[in-house]
Structure 1
Amino acid sequence: MLPGTISVISFLVLSLALAMTSARDTKLEAVWKGNTEFAKKLYHALSKEKGNIFFSPLSVHAVLSMLHQGSKGKTQQTLGDVLELPGLRESAKGYERVMKSLNSVKDVTLLIANKIYIQNRYAFKDNFASTISKNFLSEVQSLDFAKSKEAAKTINTWVEGKTNNRIKNLVKPQDLNEQTRLVLVNAIYFQGIWEYPFSPSMTKSHKFYINGKDSIDVQMMRLIQTLYYKEDENLDSKVLELPYRNNNLSMIIILPNKRNGIAELEEKLYTVDMSTITQHMHRPEVSVHLPKFKIEATIDLNKPLTDIGLGEIFSSSADLSGMIQSPQPLQVSKVIQKAFIEVNERGTEAAAATHNVMVSHSRPLETADFVADHSFVVLLQAKKENLKTILFQGRIVKPQ
């Protein structure tokens, strides 16, 4: 008989916004720092593929951190090292802080939720069940995975409800079978608006270069505003920060100076501390040209996770014996994420209100142009005091 399998399925719907509480918390910091380092590794692996990229490292980090709680021996060490986590107790406490912070933000619509589905003939081990429920705030439900069509429908219905119907039919019946023992899910849904909305009347058709010479026509938004900005000589790029209504979250855009400079930029990003990207910025009046775009993609993360050192969790040598009471060994069968992002003038398509900002008409001493008419890297960054972490990251090669 084949060993039991676990499907680790990470869902993301992003319509732009987030914020964090301000009190210092060392356990939260440990998880944030680990996530930032993990984001860099995973992005580097994903960047080997062509085309647009968008994913939530936090969503992947959360489900794998739940897996970490049920692992033992070498598997536990490997997960801890790759995820950059402290000990089991510290990381569990850290995620408790993360879950509570993310679900109590202001001026945005934000939901982060965990759920574990277990084969109905099995039971969790007490310690694992307690940790997942208390620290990861995870719901638990029994399913008969042998009835794969019904099980997939149950999981998909939960995900649709948690993501305002943005993510549909992610789990396919063929993803589940009688050997499936657990499905771990993290769902994230965001809505929010810019601190300084773009005016729709300023949006015009504009060329966007998909390589050094070929271009497509896109809807280019325009904004003139005093913003944090810098020229980064080390990255040979311009860096711009666009704040949301809750200023603890912002979109960071890293634009190579060369039209075909995206690959070179990505290699450099792998060698830098991503939490320092927004250091030494100043506030000139910036003329921003940014394309509207919408990206939806399903990513099979088995290979990228293997590439960054987590191949063991997919193998028969995995030790996940701390999770459920089972005579059979467990291994991960799939890690899947479906991500959605839409960037428009107001920040999100679902924003219920606009935010009028009074801007001084006195002209600052400095001005800068930021014309995102070729491939760029985008980050969504949360900050708390001097600590920053990357919640979302992507590469926009062809706005859609």
Structure 2
Amino acid sequence: MKPNENVVASELLVRFSLCKLASIATGDTKEDLMALLGYRNETGLSTCYTRCKESLKTMTETDLTMVNRIFLEYTKEIDPSFIKNSTEKFGVQVEQVGFTYPVAALAHINKMISAITYKRVADIIDADDINKDTKMIIVNGGHYKGTWEFPFDYRLTKLTQFRHIDGKVSRIPMMTKTDSIMFAAAGDCQAIKLRFGSWRASITIVIPNNPREFPKLIDRISDQRSYVYNLVKQMKSKPLQIILPRFKIRTFVDWTGFLQGLGMYSIFNTNSTDLSRIYKKEFRNKTIALHKIKQKVFVQIDEMGVARFKPHPDTIWGPPGLSAPDIPKFVADRPFYFEITWDFENARHEMFTGVYYGPESTTVIPK
């Protein structure tokens, strides 16, 4: 990816697939997967998907279109138990495809993903991703257009200055709403949490006090996995006027190299992988390695989301464009980090995480 490029990804979708593979792995491959996933026993594998199942189901009924597949080389040697009930238990569907015909397999997979996501996620794999020796790939993607619990009034949206990390300024459509908002401030940053209409779903947005300090904020979030969660636990409800850009981020992620960078090599190496339990017992002298993990995610945030309706004339503070008096402001007019999550009393599950650096193509205001 290019520096300072908008990005969004779903670690959770990849985790579902890896939990599925870990459930049948043995030897070093099992140990590597369990260490990567952060689990000490099989209980973590069995609950990886089921603890999110109802929340994910609610989200897919409203705002989310997603696909999560493990594609295997078509052969009668595959154990049917590896395919059966995979979606219900692990949130990933297992299918067989003829990789011995790479061009046809490529067309089939891309066409399938495009159809399932109503063409919002397309061309997820390319010609270099599969060949006649490919035995297994993981492909997942999703399109999310969040519907708010309490939507923004589109009549208040107006062009507002956005300050880029390099000091440039551009004008983009910014949404406005005044309400009691969950808010926290910590040193050089501040954060809010807004609820979506989907059960337990929300978005947390973290902005630096100074746009130029954003790289340091991202490093801190990356180094301290619980940093944002700790901010959320400190949040209190307070009256705020929030001003946010509406945005679209579409990102392709090849997780293969990233996972190898974390030390996950055995699963990709035919000579060292131990996923033989994918096969029937009489064929478990064979080896099978994962060739690729690829993902494409498309997230849209606007005033309403999927649900569209005409706002009531009494739902704004005075006439359109009028600021609420004496109300503190949270203005996301600079790069920010965000998480779309399901929040429970003692747990928080991240569906999407991303970074918004600003509009990718717009008019820059000269200084």
TM-score of the superposed pair, with normalisation by structure 2: 0.84
Partner of 2:33: 79
Tell me the amino acid that sits aligned with residue 74 of structure 2: N
Q: Which runs of 5+ in 2 are unaligned?
A: 318-323, 361-367
Could you tell me whether the CA contact under 8 Å between 1:262 and 1:376 is conserved in 2? yes
Counterpart for residue 100 of structure 2:
146
Name the count of aligned residue pairs: 350
- 2:246 and 2:301 in contact (8 A); partners too: yes
Name the residue aligned to 1:330.
288
For 1:255 and 1:160, the matched residues in 2 are separated by 34
Q: Which moved more, 1:183-192 or 1:159-168?
A: 183-192
In the aligned structure 2, how far is the partner of 1:282 from the partner of 1:359? 24
Which of residues 283, 301, 318 is equivalent to 1:343?
301
Matched, 1:319 2:274: yes
Deviation at 1:171, TM superposition (A): 2.0
Q: Which residue of 1 aligns with 2:343?
A: 383
Letter in 1 for 2:165: N
User: Is 1:161 paired with 2:150?
Assistant: no
Alignment correspondent of 1:54 = 8
Shift of 1:265: 0.8
In the alignment, the residues of structure 1 paired with residue 97 and residue 225 of structure 2 have an alpha-carbon distance, to the nearest angstrom, of 44
User: Within 2, Cα distance between the matches of 1:341 and 1:95?
Assistant: 21
**Identical residues among aligned pairs (%):** 23
Counterpart of 2:220? 268
3-state secondary structure, aligned to 1:297: strand
Aligned to 1:309, what secondary structure does the other structure show?
A: coil
CA contact (8 A) 1:250 1:380 kept: yes
Deviation at 1:212, TM superposition (A): 4.7
Is 1:373 matched up with 2:333? yes
SS across alignment from 1:178: coil
Determine the structure 2 residue equivalent to 1:297: 251
If asked which structure has higher relative contact order (CA below 8 Å, sep 6+), I would say 1
Tell me which residue corresponds to 2:353: 393
Give the Cα separation in 2 of the matches to 1:365 and 1:208.
23
Root-mean-square deviation (CA, aligned residues, Å) is 3.1
CA–CA separation in structure 1 for the residues paired with 2:168 and 2:100: 50
Listed as ranges, the gaps of 5+ residues in structure 1 are 1-45
**Larger-gyration structure (1/2):** 2
* Shift in alpha-carbon separation, 1:143–1:307, aligned structure 2, 3 A: closer
In the alignment, is residue 254 of structure 1 matched against residue 254 of structure 2? Answer: no
Q: Which piece of structure 1 moves more, 257-266 or 168-177? A: 168-177
Q: Tell me the residue number matched to 1:185.
A: 139
Of the structure 1 ranges 76-85 and 182-191, higher mean CA displacement relative to structure 2 is found in: 182-191
Q: Normalising by structure 1, what TM-score?
A: 0.77
- The 1:239–1:104 alpha-carbon spacing in structure 2 relative to 1, beyond 3 Å, is closer
Residue 126 (structure 2) pairs with residue 172 (structure 1): yes
Shift of 1:192: 3.6
Change (3 A) 1:299 1:115: closer
Structure 2 residue identity aligned to 1:253: I
Task: State whether residues 231 and 238 of structure 1, in contact with CA within 8 Å, keep that contact through their aligned partners in structure 2.
Answer: yes
Per-residue Cα deviation, 1:154-184 (whole angstroms, up to 9, x for no partner): 2223212322221112122432221111233
1:115 counterpart letter in structure 2: R
**Secondary structure at the counterpart of residue 70 of structure 2:** strand
